[in-house]
């Protein structure tokens, strides 16, 4: 009888977790290194989940069907469905934030990244942009609080001299997202590229590292190990990147409450 009562309490508790409106919402945007290719070799995910990326009842993710569920790797599996997803930085980020700010409450991850997308494909009004905004607005229903946009994108833009327009397009993207979500001070944490994917990598990295917008931080992935394809971060690197993103977010202090 006591076991039965315990099971009922557990089910109710989990249900409250997935419907509780007091969620800290984080958008995960960009391309493949955000959606995650850690542990993917020859289009096969090895299934290894590092301890830093394990599921936690206080970490939820918004599914493709716009419902909440307990997050588990690969968290972009139904969003970036053009390729096989593996480990990304999202779960490591969330677990590290919880570890260092145990009073933060429930974290709601909103995966939106899509591999091989250039910055123009994220321009205001585009399919991916509209999908990201729609998913975020659904996530915010029920008193959810938008805490930050985590952004890792740019490899595709290193391939040609269109890179000279990257700064203008990136700044406009960040500004448009803030305006359309009515969060003018939204913290944004972007990643400066790790891989030397194309001939204009340094031009893109320079824009990322020198971004001069309020409440925008850049973490530098340079030096993180990439996998056999020389583009995608390895599983340990994705874990480390997630913790770097978490440290950057926690570094905002009280600033991330001023939305």
Residues forming the active site: 32, 229, 232
Distance CA 247, CA 244 (A): 5
Nearest to residue 195, comparing CAs of 155, 239, 148? 155
Residues 6 or more apart from 106 whose CB is under 8 A from it? 17, 20, 22, 23, 24, 58, 59, 60
Distance CA 250, CA 259 (A): 15
Sign (positive or negative) of CA dihedral 62, 187, 137, 29: negative
Angle between helical axes of 90-100 and 235-250 (0-180°, round to 10):
40
Residue 67 DSSP code: -
**Tokens matching residue 74:** 């690969």
Nearest to residue 28, comparing CAs of 247, 246, 182, 204? 246
Residue 38 DSSP code: B
Distance CA 178, CA 196 (A): 30
Sign (positive or negative) of CA dihedral 83, 94, 201, 210: positive
Distance CA 132, CA 122 (A): 9
């Amino acid at each position: 009888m006591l076991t039965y009562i315990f099971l009922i309490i557990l089910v109710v508790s989990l249900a409250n977790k997935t419907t509780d409106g007091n969620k800290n919402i984080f958008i995960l945007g960009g391309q493949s290194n955000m959606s995650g290719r850690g542990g993917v070799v020859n289009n096969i995910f090895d299934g290894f989940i590092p301890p830093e990326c394990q599921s936690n009842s206080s970490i939820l993710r918004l599914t493709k069907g716009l419902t909440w569920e307990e997050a588990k790797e690969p968290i972009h599996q139904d969003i970036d469905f053009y390729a096989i997803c593996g480990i990304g930085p999202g779960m490591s980020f969330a677990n590290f934030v919880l570890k260092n700010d145990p009073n933060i409450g429930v974290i709601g991850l909103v995966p939106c990244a899509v591999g091989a997308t250039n910055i123009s494909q994220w321009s205001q009004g585009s399919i991916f942009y509209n999908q990201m905004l729609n998913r975020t607005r659904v996530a915010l229903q029920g008193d959810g609080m938008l805490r930050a946009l985590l952004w890792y994108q740019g490899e595709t833009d290193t391939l040609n001299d269109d890179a000279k327009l990257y700064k203008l397009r990136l700044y406009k993207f960040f500004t448009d997202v803030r305006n359309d979500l009515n969060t003018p001070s939204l913290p944004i944490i972007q990643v400066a590229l790790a891989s030397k994917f194309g001939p204009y990598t340094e031009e893109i990295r320079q824009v990322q590292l020198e971004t001069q917008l309020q409440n925008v931080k850049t973490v530098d992935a340079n030096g993180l190990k990439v996998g056999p394809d020389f583009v995608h971060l390895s599983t340990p690197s994705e874990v480390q990147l997630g913790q770097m993103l978490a440290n950057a977010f926690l570094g905002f202090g009280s600033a991330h409450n001023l939305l």
